[in-house]
A and B are shown apart, each in its own frame.
Chain A
């Protein structure tokens, strides 16, 4: 209760601070910009897990951001200011993340680009909101992050909702599915993807059967499989998590049904392949494009620059960190200012071609325009499916 009201209060405070910044920007903003401008640097905070189980992912995202900053600085920086990244470890832990946020804010960072763990990013949100600085999340993608009502939160990783579009494309164009059965595990995330996909397919060449919401504790899919058979479904889209996905596809194949089985990104996990065994092969998955699956000259250049500097392949979300820093640069350039409130306003109208697709944001700060891909399990490994929608 205390936490909740405290959160709400900080949201109000944050919003009030932003409103004040907006209306008084001409005066207050220019004063602070003048102060920062004299230093000649653009101080940007980075909060990532650098220790603990998620340390590898955090380091890889940070490295992507370092590359972006180096490239921008080499080209003259942001409005003549060199980007300086100030890194703090959030250890993928809510408390550590709050400490890191407080420290970064007290150091006077003018923006924040980072974030891998949603659970760590969430409690830091009010701190960045109160400071009135842009809070760009590179890879944390829970929808709850954009439900706090903060005006300054932007997610580079699109999370769930956009993959409905990808899924719809897969079923209508690639698989040419006549009748589709969508099933979820009753979790918020899975239900969301399931319903959006059904909506996107309305009126298309793919007929969608009523969505089956299978309780997450259910191991037995035989009744659902009977429905698949009786209704004559020609493909299945499972939007829940990997443990049930393995059960579902195994029981489907055991029952002698060979129709395409497609999962959403919640089921993309090595455990799925281990548990489903041979039945994992041929399973498709829709997922936001990971760095290793990016194609095109820009991605190639990023890849070789990354390897040259860090002597290792980029991680799955390195490109998201890279795009996050460029989003900040482009917003500041568009705003002709480093003033946080102006940069936030510009981020809301931003649109540029990033490594991970078009980067722009919905009014609540969630990503629009990211590339999604279809993966296929071949020989017990995830590879890019040969035919993309």
Chain B
């Protein structure tokens, strides 16, 4: 038993990093929106889903044969990030902004409504529907072996790309003028307005960044898992939200750490106890974290979050 655990755990940690990279990218969007509006945007997982369908449509239209054209994947990835960002901004502009003065609970219910609208909207598009659609591009299996476990170059590229994107956003928030403005709006919106910050534009920007990261996650996950479905955003959205809480909701680094940790916990939980225990293990850890450190691992006082 012990030897089996020993041979399972290290590869499970690596597998957890891949899963965690997706969680982290989506969690950042949850976290930043919460930081600035105190809104848990339940539609965020569906931004991810819609973005996956956008990339599916474009790649399906331009892909000939089964060979992967990485140039295409990269530019479609960028377009999808743009689409995810634009969708998030549109939802904020059309739904959340008119409700800016409403109670947070009303906003969250509106977010659930947006989630349903997006899911059922995709469901009703004839070419998409409720089927599991095979992603048009299948990455090759070539890669490298570590301790007799095979990893593909695509997996490595996904983790690196996720890392670069998150570090980029972290830098933007903490080391630039715009980031300072974001943090100012998160701390005290009226005061930030009085200081001459265009708060509406900052909120839009936060939504855009969150949507774009969800779009990036969508392309990567579709590439990695190979199929998409109109409900794919629900489960991963919930787990990303959990990751955000685990890491300390409201800041970028917390979301990243929480995402990776949740991915690793689920993976290791499966390895040691079996697949039926994975979520129990992961969410048990969440409850423990909230007991021992209610602000999450990297949590700050609410006033300082973005």
With CB as the reference atom, state the residue of chain A lying closest to B16. A223
Q: List B contacts of A223 (CB < 8 A).
A: 12, 15-16, 266-271, 275, 278
Which A residues are in CB contact (< 8 Å) with B168?
none
Q: Which of A51-59, A78-86, A146-154, A225-233 contacts B (4 or more CB under 8 A)?
A: A225-233
Residues of A within 8 A of B11 (CB): 226, 229-230
Identify which of residues 216-271 in chain A touch chain B, using a CB-to-CB cut-off of 8 Å: 217-220, 222-227, 229-231, 242-243, 246-247, 250-251, 253-256, 271
Q: B227 near A: Cβ within 8 Å?
A: yes
Report A-chain residues with C-beta under 8 Å of the C-beta of B274.
210-213, 227
- Shortest distance between the CB of A292 and any CB in chain B (Å): 25
One of B7, B269, B279 near A230 (C-beta < 8 A): B7
**Cα distance, A210 to B269, chains bound together (Å):** 14
Asked if B279 and A215 sit within 8 Å, CB to CB, the answer is yes
- Min distance, Cβ A83 to any Cβ of chain B, angstroms: 41
| A interface majority secondary structure | helix
Chain B residues positioned under 8 Å from A275 (CB to CB): 132, 134, 226-227
For A223, the closest partner residue in chain B by CB is B270
Any B CB within 8 A of the CB of A214: yes
Interface size of A by CB at 8 A reads 35
Q: How far is the CA of A242 from the CA of B227 in the complex (A)?
A: 12
Q: Which residue of B lies closest to A255 (CB)?
A: B150
Complex formed: what's the CA distance from A224 to B12 in Å? 9
CB distance from A316 to the nearest CB of B (A): 21
Tell me the smallest distance from the CB of B181 to a CB of chain A, in Å: 37
Instruction: Report B160-216 residues with CB < 8 Å from chain A CB.
Output: none
Min Cβ gap A243→B in Å is 4
Interface footprint category on B: 35 or more
Are the CB atoms of A222 and B134 closer together than 8 Å? no
The answer to whether A300 has its CB under 8 Å from any CB of chain B is no
Q: Does A183 contact B (CB under 8 A)?
A: yes
A176: chain B residues within 8 A (beta carbon): none
Residues from 182 to 232 in A contacting B, C-beta threshold 8 Å: 183, 186, 210-215, 217-220, 222-227, 229-231
The CA-CA distance from A148 to B141 in the complex, in Å, is 50
Question: Which residues on A sit within 8 Å (CB–CB) of B266?
Answer: 223
Given A217-B234, A223-B270; A186-B276 close (CB under 8 Å): yes
A71 beta carbon closer than 8 Å to chain B: no
Nearest B residue to A186 via CB reads B276
Contact of B18 among A183, A218, A222 (CB under 8 A): A222
The smallest C-beta distance from B98 to any residue of chain A, in angstroms, reads: 33
- A251 cross-chain contacts in B, Cβ below 8 A: 225
**Do A231 and B4 touch across chains, with their CB atoms under 8 A apart?**
yes
Q: Specify which chain A residues have a CB less than 8 angstroms from the CB of B138 in the assembled complex.
A: 277
Interface residues of A (CB under 8 A from B): 183, 186, 210-215, 217-220, 222-227, 229-231, 242-243, 246-247, 250-251, 253-256, 271, 274-275, 277
> Top 6 A-B pairs ranked by shortest CB distance?
A223-B270, A222-B15, A213-B276, A256-B150, A217-B235, A212-B275
Given contacts A212-B274, A224-B275, 18 further A-B contacts (CB under 8 A): A212-B270, A213-B276, A215-B275, A218-B235, A218-B275, A222-B19, A222-B267, A223-B16, A223-B267, A225-B15, A226-B149, A227-B8, A229-B7, A231-B4, A243-B227, A247-B225, A247-B226, A255-B149
